[in-house]
Structure 1
Amino acid sequence: MSRKFWSLLFAALLAPCAAMAADDMEQGLGTLWESLWHQSGTPTRIVRWENDIRVRFTGVDLNKHKDYVMGALRTVTDEARVKLVDVTDQPNEQANLTVEITPDTALEDNQPCVTYLDFRTEAKIDQANIQMRTKDVYRCAYHESMHLMGVRGHPAGKTVLSYFPVKVDGLLPLDRVMLRSWYSPRMKGGMTPFEALPILADELVATMPDKVAAGQARDRFYSQTIDQMQAYAAGKGDIPAIVKRSGKSTEDGIRHGRSEMSYFLGVAYFEGATVKSDQKQALSWFERAASAGNRRAQSYLAGPGR
C-alpha cells in the first residue's frame, strides 16, 4: 500500500484521540474556572496561606479519626508546598488551624462538614477552622482540606470539591493542578479570576500529552468565558449555570456577583489578563462596576493603582 494511504490512516486514528484530548482540556478548564467561584454564585479573588499551617485537633473520637484527617491535610499541603505542623499536644504553641471532630448530632444533614477561612484582606489566610461530624470524616477530610488551602468553589467535574465527587478519599489530578497553581510563584494573593485563570490553565496544559491541541482549547475557552462573563455582568441572557449550580445563589448574591464581575473584567482589559489589553473596554467596565457601588472600581477611576 502507498505511503499516502498509511499517512491518511494514521491521521484518521489520531483524530479521535486529539478530539478527546481537547474535550478533556475544555472540561478541565471549566472545572478550574468554577473553582474560582463561591457557592453563593459570586466570583472570588485568590486567597492562600503565606505562613506555615499549625493545626490543633479537638472534639470527639480523635483516636479514631486524627491520623486519617492528618493524612488528608498532609497530602494537600505537600502538593502546595506549605509546611504543616501538628501542635495538638503542645498546649503552649499557638495554632492557626483548628480541626474539630463533632458528634453526629452536630451540624446539619445537608452540611456535615464546613471550613471557615479568616482573612483580614481578601488575599492572605490568617486563620481557619474545620468542623466535620464523626460519621462523615471519611467523605469530608479531603474536600475540606482543599477548601482550607483557599479553593472556595464547588466545581462540577473530576475533583473532590464537587457536590457529586467521583472520589472522596484522595486527591484527583485536577485537585493537584489547582494546588500547584494556587501556590505557584506566579500566583499572588488577591488576584482576580481573570488574572488567576491563565496560571491555572498553563498548569493544566502542562499535564496534557498534546500541548498544541491543549493550547488551542485553552484559547477557545478564554474567548467563550469572556463573552459569557460580559453578558452576565451586563445583565444579558440567561444566568450562567456556574452561578446557579449550588442552588444557594440569591438575588442579592447575583447582583453583587455582576458588580464584582464588571470590576474583574475591567482589571482583565486593563492588564491584558486572559484578553488583549484594551483601555477603552477597561474604563467602560470600571464605570459600570463603580456605578453599582463597587469600591475597588471607584478607586481605579479615582487614580492609578489598586
Structure 2
Amino acid sequence: MSRMSRTLLLLAALLSSPLAATAGDDVEQGLATLWEVLWHQSGTPTRVVRWENEIRVRFSGLGVAAHREHSLGALRAVTQEAGVKLVDVTDHAPQTANLSVEFTSDSALDDNQPCATSLDFRTETRIDSATVQMRGRDAWRCAYHEAMHVMGVRGHPAGKTVLSYFPWKVDALMPLDKVMLRAWYSPAMRGGMTPFEALPVLADELVATQPDKALASQARDRFFATTVEQMQAYANGTGDVPVIVKRSGKSTEEGIRYGRTEMSYFLGVAYQEGVTVRADPNQAIRWYELAASAGNRRAQARLGSFR
C-alpha cells in the first residue's frame, strides 16, 4: 500500500471515529443553546434587541459597598466582549443613568426568582434603558446571569452558559457566552432581526471558534435543516411545543398561540430573504398567509410586496 493510500485511510478513519462524532455533537449542542437564547421564558420566539449607545450604570439599594465591585465586574466583562462602552455614574449624581442596578433585601423578591432584569425599548430593536434587581444574598450568583440579560440576550437556554437556570459557572463568562456577545454586537447583526436572521450570525461565530471548521460547518447545516423542519411543524400546529418552551415553566396557552403565529411570520421572512434556508417566494407567501390569517399585521404588510 502506498503512503498516499495509507494517509487517506487514516483520514477516513479519523473522520468516522467517535472523536469526530463527539466534536460534531458538541457543535450541535452549542447551536441548540444559541437557538434557545432567541426564546423568551414565556415561550415565545423573540427579536434581537441591543444597545446602540454607551451604558451608564448606577448602583443603589442595600449593601452597595459589598456587592458593587463584583456586579460591576460582570458588566465590564459583557460590555468588553460586546464592544460597548460602560460608565459607572453611581458617584456622579448629575449624570443620568440608563441602567439601574438595585440590591434589595433578602425578602424583597421571590425565592424562585431572586434576581430580575427589565429591558425598556420603544421598538423591539434598540434598548433604551434597563433595570436590574438582585437580592443581596444572591447578588454573587446573579451578577453574570443578569449582565447577559442587560445586553439584550433574553433566553434561558440549557447548555454551558451563565444564562442557564442550572449554570455550570456563575462567577465568570463561559466560552458560549462570549460567542453570543460577539455575535450579538457584530456588524453582521442588527436590532430587530428575527430568530432565523440572527441564527446564522450566531452560528458563524461558533464555527469560527472550532478547530475543525469543516466539521463544524456540516453540523451547522444539519442543525439549520432540523430546526427549520421542527419550526414549520410548530407553526402549523402539528408539531410538539419546543423543549425550551416546556422547560421555562412560565409559558401559557396564549403565549404558545402567539408564538406559533410569530414563528409563521419568521418563517416567511426566512424564505423571502434566504436566511437559514434557501430563498423561496412561494414558501414565503405560504407562511405569511398563515400568520396574516391569525392577525399578524407585519405578515399582512409583507404580503403586499408580492402583489
TM-score normalised according to structure 2 size: 0.96
1:74-153 aligned at under 5 Å gives the runs 74-153=76-155
Q: Is the 8 A contact 2:36 2:157 kept in 1?
A: yes
Q: Percentage identity across aligned positions?
A: 70
Corresponding residue for residue 206 of structure 1? 208
The unaligned stretches of length 5 or more in structure 1 are none
SS at match of 2:165: coil
SS at match of 1:228: helix
- 1:2 positional shift: 7.2
Counterpart Cα distance in 1 of 2:259 and 2:8: 51
Which amino acid in structure 1 is aligned with residue 120 of structure 2?
D
Q: Distance in 2 between matches of 1:16 and 1:138?
A: 39
For 1:48-77, what per-residue CA distance to the aligned partner results, in whole angstroms no more than 9, with x for missing partners? 000000000000111111000000000000
Asked if structure 2 preserves the Cα contact closer than 8 Å seen for 1:21 and 1:208, the reply is no
Residue equivalent to 1:291:
293
1:302, distance to aligned residue in structure 2 (A): 3.3
User: What is the Cα deviation at residue 219 of structure 1?
Assistant: 0.4
Cα separation, 2, equivalents of 1:45 and 1:237: 22
1:206 corresponds to which letter in structure 2?
A
Q: 1:268 to 1:10 in 2, by over 3 A?
A: closer
1:3-22 equivalences under 5 Å are 3=3, 4=5, 8=9, 11-13=12-14, 15-22=17-24
Tell whether the 8 Å contact from 1:49 to 1:125 is kept in structure 2 after alignment: yes
Residue 70 of structure 2: SS of its match in structure 1?
helix
In structure 1, how many angstroms separate the alpha carbons of the residues matched to 2:13 and 2:305? 57
Matched, 1:38 2:14: no
Q: Which runs of 5+ in 2 are unaligned?
A: none
Given that 1:18 and 1:210 are in contact with CA atoms closer than 8 Å, whether structure 2 keeps it comes out as: no
In structure 1, how many angstroms separate the alpha carbons of the residues matched to 2:263 and 2:272? 14
- Counterparts of 1:207 and 1:43 in 2: how far apart (Å)? 26
How many Å apart are 1:303 and its aligned residue? 4.2
Whether contact under 8 Å (2:14, 2:20) holds in the other structure is: no
Structure 1: which 4+ aligned runs deviate by more than 4 Å?
1-7
SS in 1 for 2:30: helix
Letter in 2 for 1:290: A
Distance in 2, Cα, partners of 1:187 & 1:119:
18
2:262 is matched by which residue type in structure 1? E
Normalising to structure 1: TM-score of the pair? Answer: 0.96
Letter in 2 for 1:74: R
> Structure 1 95/298 Cα, relative in aligned 2: closer, same or farther at 3 Å?
same
Equivalents in 2 of 1:279, 1:11: separation in Å?
Answer: 40
Aligned to 2:248: 246
Tell me how far 1:11 sits from its aligned partner. 4.5
Query: Is 1:191 aligned with 2:209?
Result: no
Q: Is the 8 A contact 2:196 2:270 kept in 1?
A: yes
Q: Which letter maps to 1:210?
A: D
| Number of matched pairs | 304
2:104 and 2:136 in contact (8 A); partners too:
yes
**Matching residue of 2:68:** 66
